[in-house]
Structure 1
Amino acid sequence: MNGELVGTWTVERGTHVFRYEAAWKKSSRCRSLSLSLPLTGAKEIKGDLVRNYFDNLLPDSEKIRQRLGRRFKTPTAEVFDLLEAIGRDCVGAVQLLPPGESPEDWKRVECEHLSEQDIVDLLQAVPSELTPEGMEDDDLFRISMAGAQEKTALTRWQGAWCRPHGATPSTHIFKLPLGLIGGSRRVDASDSVQNEWLCAKILEALGLPMASTSMETFGEQTVLIVERFDREWQDDGTWIARLPQEDFCQALGFAPSQKYEAEGGPGMAKCLQLLQGSRDKDDPAFFLLTQLTFFLLAATDGHAKNFSIYLEQGDHYRMTPLHDVLSMWPYFGDAPSQFKRHRAGLAMTLRSKNPHKYFHTIEARHWRQLALKNGGPAVWEAMQALVEGVDDALHEVQTQLPPNFPERTWTAISTGMKSEANRFMSEAEGLPPA
């Protein structure tokens, strides 16, 4: 982490093993690599907890993993082999290097300015097994980012987009459009960049901390650019620190294949239990308000890997800003190439007296019961205030829409949100005082 050796990860007879360095335990910046891999306790940590932590650093998509394996000619597409090849710039502060090797010049910026054509070539190469001419085996591609979407990362430096070299970290993630989603249903999500940008602006307008996003076009390719909240400029912009963080799957010891509650992963109760230990006492309420906003946005992908915490000295922690929010409103309908709304729901089931997963079955009284159980009347009042602010938030965001913003995306999301907000407020009026 930021030039200091934290520990050693090995695979011994098929078992994943992690050992903390003695010097790290004495460091002024000491903290656990993960809440699931605590510093105190055994000399070494073995088994699935170790494997799961590192597995969560890789892209979720098996297709992307296989392609990375072919690109870097790894012996297998297993976690250790892939991260040995691409683990030099991971999410959070982790850098994975061979034994005996340390990051050089990590307290300075080493970057190469890219032309627009360079970036066009780079983006075209992201979903392929090839790298642009002249960029073979470059640091640029030895970057590991979790998630299911095609993406790459660059560094913003001296007013230009740059290719980071050596120990210099990336500062921004470039996300490409999803294209067709939904398996055999083949739903057109080619507007996913605009959709995710719009969701981010709506969340910001509603007062929820959100990763800073922008849209930019290179050649004919529009991408979503997300400023990394796990990076921070230091000493008047002379170097970039990596901020330790992990997603909820890592913190709770789950494999990435369990990111959804329906697949055995964490639900709201497990996440709220984690956040009871947060240094920020408002984090549990923030989490619940986020779930309510997902309901209004018809955002179905709020799984455990899309929530993260900063890891601070002494194993204190707090939630990071939100990221990766996509509304399904533009993709609902009765056509074969659309999703059925009555079958869509939250990634984490809302449990009041009974479980409620599907959007159309969730009512204001269920949110009230959830709020009163997890924070009391103040959380319920915050929920009502958030919903009452939807119209103003949408009006604010509408003034920020760039020219040629897709009408379908704006109309579907804004109309859908208003409809659900009105339903919520109508139902809430008939409820007894908290």
Structure 2
Amino acid sequence: MTEELEVRLHGEYLGLLRRAPRRSRENVILEDVTPTSTKVRLAESFALRAGRRPDTDLVSRFLGGYLPEGAQRRALASKRAIEPNDLFAFLREFGSSIAGALTFWGQATTEREPRYTPISPKLLRRELQRAIKEHDLGIRDDSRSMIAGFQPKLLVSRFGDSGWSLPHGGGHSTHILKPRLQSRPTRLVDEFYSHELARALGLATFASWLEGSGDGTYLAIERFDRRVHDETVELVHQEDAAQALSLGWADDDLKFQDPERPRDPRRPSAYRIAELTATLRGFEVVEQWVRQLLFRILIGDNDGHAKNVGILHLPGEDRLTDMYDAVPNLFQPERIQWNMALAIDGEFDRRRIDVERLQAEVASWRVLGASRVHDVIDDVLGSFRSALDDVSVPRGGSNGLREFFGRAVDRLRAGDEIGE
């Protein structure tokens, strides 16, 4: 009998997933597609029609985008004795709780009811250290959860003031905990500072905070694709721009624009993401993309690739998610190169970016008028400058980070290139 997984969206049956015969392990087939009543679109990269099998490659690229990357994916594969590129096996093993509102259930899955076990501060610290050492998201033998990304992290749940719990069976995490790394002791605080600035600019609404001390410090991040009602977790559907653009998932580099081949159709660009956002809700979402893109430039986030741009699917509405994983990576000593993940008017080097290039980039999208482009960029720069004055710098972050941000925004406002 052919092994298959039952696919559900917001708990409603959507179809059956099977391995693609005589194809690589990176491919799966979605069959028996049945409409749901959720009025939520499943994906930007392919359309689902009742009774019709969607394109195998498109389905596979979309679903593969929910898997972890790099060492995280290899570690989880090793834990369950599966191949790192075996998409079907990953969804079978960890598909009861991924980003968004899709769930995957196999015939052999016995524990489907949500269950949560409290975790003590001592055990939490140990699990965070294990997540660093083993890159395994702190999974247990009965864990069926995963999330995309490279960084060590732990998926946990929190209900009111009851403290942290680990989800089991059909349980869902509500928060992501990122542990402090000895190799980069200030990185966690720097990321939290960027969260504070993003909230001040209205680019993020999720809560985050620092807890613990020393090597036991961690950053707690509220998931914006989860809503908690008492002890019930509601899923909110999402995908990232790499999935929406149908980029390959097995090669971790495909989420970046290629400086050697900037027009490579297998890779993203600011323009391609702008085209995507224009299909969601017109000018408003495109302007939000401009704001997110400029914010990442201002803080020196060279990891603003397509997987770090999210799309939220709500009933009858599609829009960008809060900005996430915005980290000032370019504020590091002995930088080898200053390239951003996406080019601005053909320029990858952050030091060479100025307002003129920004305006030319956004104008090339042919969505916003010149005066509106000017106003949006000017508003972001002014709001960012005000946020630097209003938001306190957290203790324990990188020395001079606020000045690094301030120099960038002041030079752009003066009409200069950012420089070093």
Shared fold (TM-score, shorter chain, > 0.5): yes
Residue 48 of structure 1 deviates from its aligned partner by 2.3
Is residue 2:95 matched to residue 1:127? no
Residue 388 of structure 1 deviates from its aligned partner by 2.4
Residue 39 of structure 1 deviates from its aligned partner by 1.1
- Counterpart for residue 405 of structure 1: 396
**Secondary structure of residue in 2 paired with 1:45:** coil
In the aligned structure 2, how far is the partner of 1:45 from the partner of 1:12?
Answer: 13
Does the CA contact (< 8 Å) of 1:17 and 1:44 recur in 2?
A: no
Residue 92 of structure 1 deviates from its aligned partner by 0.7
Paired letter, 1:18: I
**330, 340, 348: which is aligned to 2:342?**
348
| Count of residues in correspondence between the two structures | 393
Gaps of 5+ in 2: 1-8, 259-263
Instruction: Quote the sequence identity (%).
Output: 22
Does the CA contact (< 8 Å) of 2:256 and 2:341 recur in 1?
A: yes
Is residue 2:138 matched to residue 1:138? no
In the aligned structure 2, how far is the partner of 1:173 from the partner of 1:132?
Answer: 10
Query: How do residues 248-287 of structure 1 correspond to structure 2 at under 5 angstroms?
Result: 248-256=241-249, 257=251, 258-262=254-258, 264-279=266-281, 281-287=283-289
- Counterpart for residue 331 of structure 1: 332
Paired letter, 2:339: G
Computed over aligned residues only, the root mean square deviation of the Cα atoms, in angstroms, reads 2.8
**381, 387, 405: which is aligned to 1:387?**
381
Paired letter, 1:254: L
- Counterpart for residue 362 of structure 1: 353
Does the CA contact (< 8 Å) of 1:211 and 1:323 recur in 2?
A: no
Judged with a 3 Å threshold, the aligned counterparts in structure 2 of structure 1 residues 21 and 280 are, in CA distance, closer, same or farther, namely: farther
Does the CA contact (< 8 Å) of 1:259 and 1:304 recur in 2?
A: yes
In the aligned structure 2, how far is the partner of 1:128 from the partner of 1:306?
Answer: 24
**Secondary structure of residue in 2 paired with 1:155:** strand
Judged with a 3 Å threshold, the aligned counterparts in structure 2 of structure 1 residues 52 and 157 are, in CA distance, closer, same or farther, namely: same
In the aligned structure 1, how far is the partner of 2:64 from the partner of 2:382?
Answer: 41
Residue 233 of structure 1 deviates from its aligned partner by 2.3
Residue 138 of structure 1 deviates from its aligned partner by 2.9
Is residue 2:185 matched to residue 1:190? yes
Residue 260 of structure 1 deviates from its aligned partner by 0.5
Paired letter, 2:382: E
Query: How do residues 58-207 of structure 1 correspond to structure 2 at under 5 angstroms?
Result: 58-61=67-70, 63-74=71-82, 77-99=85-107, 104-105=112-113, 110-129=115-134, 136-139=140-143, 142-159=144-161, 160-177=163-180, 180=183, 189-207=184-202
- Counterpart for residue 186 of structure 1: none
**Secondary structure of residue in 2 paired with 1:427:** coil
Gaps of 5+ in 1: 181-188, 333-337, 429-434
Does the CA contact (< 8 Å) of 1:121 and 1:132 recur in 2?
A: no
- Counterpart for residue 19 of structure 1: 30
Paired letter, 1:395: D
In the aligned structure 2, how far is the partner of 1:57 from the partner of 1:302?
Answer: 17
Residue 200 of structure 1 deviates from its aligned partner by 1.1
Residue 261 of structure 1 deviates from its aligned partner by 1.1
Does the CA contact (< 8 Å) of 1:17 and 1:45 recur in 2?
A: no
Deviations 1:208-266 (A, max 9, x none): 235432111177321111110000124xx241111111001111111133100117421
Residue 74 of structure 1 deviates from its aligned partner by 2.5
**Secondary structure of residue in 2 paired with 1:245:** strand
Does the CA contact (< 8 Å) of 1:301 and 1:347 recur in 2?
A: yes
Judged with a 3 Å threshold, the aligned counterparts in structure 2 of structure 1 residues 102 and 286 are, in CA distance, closer, same or farther, namely: farther
Paired letter, 2:353: I
Paired letter, 2:390: E
Higher mean displacement: 416-425 or 121-130: 121-130
In the aligned structure 2, how far is the partner of 1:131 from the partner of 1:416?
Answer: 34
Judged with a 3 Å threshold, the aligned counterparts in structure 2 of structure 1 residues 390 and 35 are, in CA distance, closer, same or farther, namely: closer
Paired letter, 1:50: V
Judged with a 3 Å threshold, the aligned counterparts in structure 2 of structure 1 residues 305 and 193 are, in CA distance, closer, same or farther, namely: same
